[in-house]
Structure 1
Amino acid sequence: MKRILFPTDFSEAATNGFVHALEFANLVQGELVLLHAFELPVFDNQFFPENYMIIYESVELSKFEMFKDEIPKLRSIAQERRLGNIKMTHRLMDGSLLYNINKSIKEDKIDYVVMGTEGASGWSEFFSGTNTGNVLAEINVPILSIPVNAKYKKIETIGFTTRFRPKDKKALKKVVKLAKMAGAAVKCLYVKTSKTDVEKATIKNWEEDFAEEPIEFFVIESDEVKETILDFILLKEIDMLTMLTYKRTFFEGLFHPSLTKKFANNFDVPIFAIPIEE
């Protein structure tokens, strides 16, 4: 059975992401591991010689009480969606969110991570920061990120961006497998810029290799790669975008507020980020 890690801070974005996590678990016949990470405040114990541990214990207790109170609400959501049969376990961990995501992936043998974010800005923040890039490089499982405005709907069309490299083909095979589970079609996009040199024979070879699969290939000539991807999402009515996590800076640029501003509230598509396999 697949194991899906769902980090939550019990915010609106996280609760919305939980619905997607439930449905994803149902799709892949998996179970959920709910993670709530918190960081204890830093105190200088020379100023708290007697009640130093009491302070820490009280913070931990308050976090535990909140965690205990919120879990029944999530179970209620599962029951309402008739997904109460999905197994859920829980982890309350001290430390940074990204550190504990990575730790849980290893200790709990996680296959996927599903998490809610605050839309475009949430992705920008997630892929920035001093340690985030390093942590992401160490994560070897796909991450499904859910913008807060992305209300759950059945996945019918999955977008996949490619540069027709061998590593892309491995990722596309995973996407096809997921698409078949969902009964969805895959629309594969290659943005051909003035500097790219993918040969027509390579594209034709891919089309032949995937001829029996529910895939359409699209080659669009443009030097505005990010804008073209966003246009593609809207025009082809993509329900979930999948791509390789090969460049952190690419994600930062793709989900930068200045770029997504022109799409207003229309950009609410879940992103399925697949780690590179060499």
Structure 2
Amino acid sequence: MKKILVPTDFSTQAENALKVAALLAKKHHCEIYLLHILEMPIQQVDPLSSYNNLPEAVYFMKLAHKQFEELKAKAYLKDLKLHETVEFHEIFKGVFHVCKKHDIDLVIMGSNGVSGLREMLIGSNTEKVVRTSETPVLVVKNEHETFKINDFVFASDFKDESKATFEKAIYFANILKAKMHLLMVNTPNKFITSAKSKDRMKTFVEGFGFSNYTINVYNDISIEKGIMNFSQSINADLIGMSTHGRQGISHFFNGSISEDLVNHAKRPVITFRI
């Protein structure tokens, strides 16, 4: 891991993410890329001109640069290699563009979660990034003085399509020197016996050359609640899982367990796009 991207709106939640990025960057000798998104109203844009020629864009660019300078002066960022970028995109498009351009290894975002009608209608920027990012996304809710990950829950259905994401999860588990707790949640609507579940999980992990893990089957009323309740039972430091990146009407009707976890879990969550 060499490059970490931290999207920021200069809020407390975004700074919580940056503090975690700083802790990881110091430990693993990473560069940090700071990204601020300016979403300019489309009706203000002349199709024949660029954003950079708009008076509003120039003003907000200067304001963002000033905020970047204040942020980079923080003591916890001392001696770190920092880059700043301003993009004129929707948040998920900006993150995608910067990840591709700079070959980013990890995106770290802050979130305070949303709930109820607001969640259903507009979701959150973090949720959009989780749904669409091809780069792993780590979401943190709180400030962390240290970021030591001892126990890492990886929840999955352990079907073949998740093998690529499991390989990414192993990579981060090795970097963090964390024990991985493989978790399959059984629900009343999708019940598989514990014996069959464990057999599937054992078959799934064969060939990865990874041994620092436990196998766990947990029964609950929903997958989301099962992941959170199991993680609480072992006092896990991190929850990880795959996301399918559904969009549009399919996403609305099917929902996304990873996005629900980002909104509702109190622990840090890392997602890997299938």
TM bin, normalised by shorter chain, reads 0.7 to 0.9
Q: Distance in 1 between matches of 2:92 and 2:209?
A: 39
- Count the aligned residue pairs: 255
In structure 2, which of residues 154, 158, 171 is the aligned counterpart of residue 164 of structure 1? 158
Structure 1 residue matching 2:73: 3-state secondary structure: helix
The answer (yes or no) to whether the contact 1:5–1:34 under 8 Å persists in 2 is yes
1:167: Cα distance to partner? 3.2
Q: Which residue of 2 aligns with 1:117?
A: 111
Q: For residues 144 and 274 of structure 1, what CA distance do their matches in structure 2 show?
A: 9
Point out the structure with max Rg over C-alpha: 1
Q: Which residue of the partner structure matches residue 260 of structure 2? A: 254
Report if aligned partners of 1:27, 1:181 keep a CA contact under 8 Å in 2: no
Q: After the TM superposition, which residues 195-210 of structure 1 pair with which residues of structure 2 at under 5 Å, given as runs?
A: 195-197=190-192, 198-206=196-204
| Deviation (angstroms), 1:160 | 0.7
Structure 1 equivalent of residue 83 of structure 2 = 89
> How far does residue 57 in structure 1 lie from its aligned partner after superposition?
3.8
Cα shift readout 1:61-117 (whole Å, capped 9, x = no counterpart): 33223222222333233xx33x53332111112232222112222222222211112
Distance in 2 (alpha carbons) for counterparts of 1:211 and 1:45: 53
Is 1:189 the counterpart of 2:168 in the alignment?
no
Task: Report the Cα distance in structure 2 between the residues aligned to 1:189 and 1:252, rounded to whole angstroms.
Answer: 14
Going from structure 1 to structure 2, the CA distance change for 1:173 and 1:106 (only over 3 Å counts) comes to closer
Is contact 1:127-1:251 (8 Å) kept?
A: no
Residue aligning to 1:6: 6
The verdict on how the C-alpha distance between 1:225 and 1:144 changes in structure 2, with shifts beyond 3 A counting, is same
Letter in 1 for 2:224: K
Tell whether the 8 Å contact from 2:242 to 2:258 is kept in structure 1 after alignment.
Answer: no
Give CA-to-partner distance per residue, 1:119-148, whole Å, 9 cap, x none.
35598723799xx48x944x321111122x
Q: Is residue 71 from structure 1 mapped to residue 65 from structure 2 by the alignment?
A: no
Matching residue's letter, 2:59: S
Q: Distance in 2 between matches of 1:141 and 1:253?
A: 15
Q: Distance in 2 between matches of 1:27 and 1:184?
A: 15
- The CA distance in 2 between the partners of 1:127 and 1:45, in whole Å, is 23
**Gaps in structure 1 of 5+ consecutive residues:** 47-51, 261-266
Task: Tell me the residue number matched to 1:49.
Answer: none
CA contact (8 A) 2:197 2:217 kept: no
Q: Which residue of 2 aligns with 1:177?
A: 171
TM-score relative to the length of structure 2: 0.77
Q: Please say if residues 117 and 123 of structure 1, whose CA atoms lie closer than 8 Å, have aligned partners that are also in contact.
A: no
Q: Percent identity?
A: 23
Which residue number corresponds to residue 252 of structure 2? none
Root mean square deviation, CA, Å? 3.5
What amino acid does structure 1 have at the position aligned with 2:154?
A: F
Give the gaps of 5 or more residues in structure 2.
247-254
Alpha-carbon distance between aligned partners in 2 of 1:128 and 1:64, rounded to the nearest angstrom = 22
